[in-house]
A and B are shown apart, each in its own frame.
Chain A
Amino acid sequence: MNPSPIVMTRKLHADVITDEVARLCMEANFDLGEDVLRALREALEKEESSIGKEILGLLMENAEIARTQRVPMCQDTGFAVVFLELGQDLSIVGGDLTEAINEGIRQGYREGYLRKSIVGHPFARVNTRDNTPAVIHTEIVPGDRLKITVAPKGGGSENMSTLAMLRPADGKEGVKRFVVRSVQEAGANACPPLVVGVGLGGTFEKAAYLSKKALIRRLGEGNTDPELHHLEEELLEEINNLGIGPLGFGGRVTALAVHIESYPCHITGLPVAVNLNCHAARHKEVTL
């Protein structure tokens, strides 16, 4: 047998990760993505209600103030949700990856004057005062790069999110009914116009994860599976027919987009998760 070859792995210092996470926390909160702004402009053309139009205009004006004055667009600067795509050939040196990310959150939320919205225990509810810990989702991928997406998630829309373990017999119609009902029950609470993330299939936790991951897809990019893309469009139409409108005062635009992410599932089940996001669909990414 040959001796194991020496493999040179690429190295990335933990301090670089900290700096980048701090920057992404601020950028995500100050600078609403061009895709969302475009969707808001298109919504303004579709909207028929006068108050609905007025609100869409105010939301765009708000985004402009946030971007130019570098202040958060919303006072809820979110739970720091971090998606990692970690190349299997990359070696993190000089520190613990999780701690490097949390230190980035700490610095970003302090330097950006962002709100610290995390309590240390669900019952004791004492604020951790630095917005840590983050919620970190890691996927190991081929290659030697690290892609970091920081997606600050507001509590108002998160609270209105849902999950159901449907029966296979419920099928596509059952999924549609559940998604539309979830948006209807959220009503004005989740700050429409919404981005609706749907996780379809997998297991209980996989569906929830996919519904969150669906929220970081760029608006305007449909699912690559034509059947699922068609379902996204059908759902968007049904949701907009609910009449909830911008901020729930009635109108044509209740959602800007529906994104579905799917995964194979067990013969017994049809899990579906609905993660709602307000119009502030915030996420910024970097590849290191």
Chain B
Amino acid sequence: MTTSIKLTPPLSDKDISDLRSGDRITISGVLYTARDAAHKRLVELLSKGEKLPFDLKGQIIYYVGPTPAKPGIVIGAAGPTTSYRMDPYTIPLLAGGLKGMIGKGHRSPEVKKAMEKYKAVYFAAVGGAGALLAKHITKSEIIAFEDLGPEAIRKIEVRNFPAIVVNDLYGNDLYEEGIKKYKR
């Protein structure tokens, strides 16, 4: 296993500017979960000038809708969902101070440009490894939009949560580089 960079949110511009596409990272501390329906509501709140359920500054959003926790465990399977669906809502969140997003799959050119502008990075977690990734989650609490069920916003605490930098501040994209290397 390659050595990884340890990150603990909130992240500063310096933390972000040190990261490069392809870097392995592990996160310990707080993440906020949000996916399609929660993003829609967050952006509606922002457009009305209302307060969000959590302060975006320096934070990381994890695109996940976990399975319900069995009795005695913190959370069910909790792997990343596909990120492009959040692209239509991402730019206002970046403008609001969001520093990182964890998901899987490609981002739009507009979102990549906005990440450079607002100094934020995009991480991928291991898609399809929901049972394994749940082991890194030590606490989970619904903090908003409970009516959305699996799409509610959760504040989760993670320990050594593994991810990889896909898009950095310098225009690099791990997905594009990987394909170039192995295409025949």
Cβ-based interface call for A241 (8 A):
yes
> Is A278 in the interface zone, CB < 8 Å from B?
yes
Quick check: A189 and B106 within 8 Å, CB to CB?
yes
Contact B177 A115 (CB under 8 A): no
| Min CB gap B147→A, angstroms | 8
Does A54 interact with chain B (Cβ within 8 Å)?
yes
Task: For residue B107, give the distance in angstroms from its CB to the closest CB of chain A.
Answer: 10
* In the complex, B82 has a CB within 8 A of chain A: yes
Asked if residues A74 and B130 are in contact (CB atoms below 8 Å), the reply is yes
Residue of A with least CB distance to B135:
A65
Q: Is A156 an interface residue (CB 8 A)?
A: yes
Q: B130 to A113, Cβ gap below 8 A? A: no
Q: Is the CB of A188 within 8 A of B106?
A: yes
Verify B77–A74 contact, CB threshold 8 A. yes
Interface: B78 (CB within 8 A): yes
Which of A65, A74, A127, A159 lies in contact with B128, CB distance below 8 A? A74
Question: How long is the Cα–Cα vector from A18 to B121 in the complex, in angstroms?
Answer: 47
Instruction: List residues of A (216-266) whose CB comes within 8 Å of B's CBs.
Output: 241-245, 247-252
**B178 touching A59, Cβ below 8 Å:** no
- For residue A187, which residues in chain B have a CB less than 8 angstroms away from its CB? 105-106, 175, 179
**CA A58 to CA B129, docked complex, whole Å:** 7
Given the interface contacts A125-B37, A159-B82, A188-B106, does A71 sit within 8 Å of B70 by beta carbon? yes
Tell whether, in the assembled complex, residue B178 and residue A71 are in contact, meaning their CB atoms are under 8 Å apart: no
Contact call A242/B128, Cβ cutoff below 8 A: no
Write out the residue numbers on chain B whose beta carbons fall within 8 Å of the beta carbon of A59.
126, 128-129
B181 touches A62 (CB 8 A): no
Given A71-B134, A75-B67, are A117 and B76 neighbors across the interface (CB < 8 Å)?
no
| B73 nearest CB across to chain A (Å) | 8
Tell me the bound Cα distance from A65 to B128 in angstroms: 13
A75-B78 in contact (CB<8A): yes
Using known A-B contacts A49-B182, A243-B178, determine if residue A127 contacts B106 with beta carbons closer than 8 Å.
Answer: no
Q: Complex Cα distance A175/B132, Å?
A: 38
A113-B128 contact, Cβ under 8 Å, with A75-B79, A243-B183: no
Contacting residue for A243 out of B66, B129, B151, B184, CB 8 A = B184
- Asked, given contacts A72-B67, A242-B183, A250-B177, whether A127 binds B131 with beta carbons under 8 Å apart, the answer is no
Judge whether A188 and B130 touch: CB under 8 Å: no
Query: Would A156 and B81 count as touching, CB distance under 8 A?
Result: yes
Q: Which of B64, B126, B135, B175 contacts A75 (CB 8 A)?
A: B64
Judge whether A244 and B130 touch: CB under 8 Å.
no
- Of A59, A77, A116, A188, chain B has the most CB atoms within 10 Å of the CB of A188
Inter-chain contact A48/B182, CB cutoff 8 Å: yes
A–B Cβ pairs within 8 angstroms, 17 of them = A65-B131, A66-B131, A69-B131, A72-B131, A75-B65, A75-B79, A76-B65, A117-B65, A159-B82, A188-B127, A189-B84, A242-B183, A244-B179, A245-B178, A247-B127, A250-B175, A251-B182
Leading 8 A-B pairs by shortest Cβ distance:
A250-B178, A243-B182, A243-B183, A189-B105, A241-B184, A62-B129, A62-B132, A75-B130
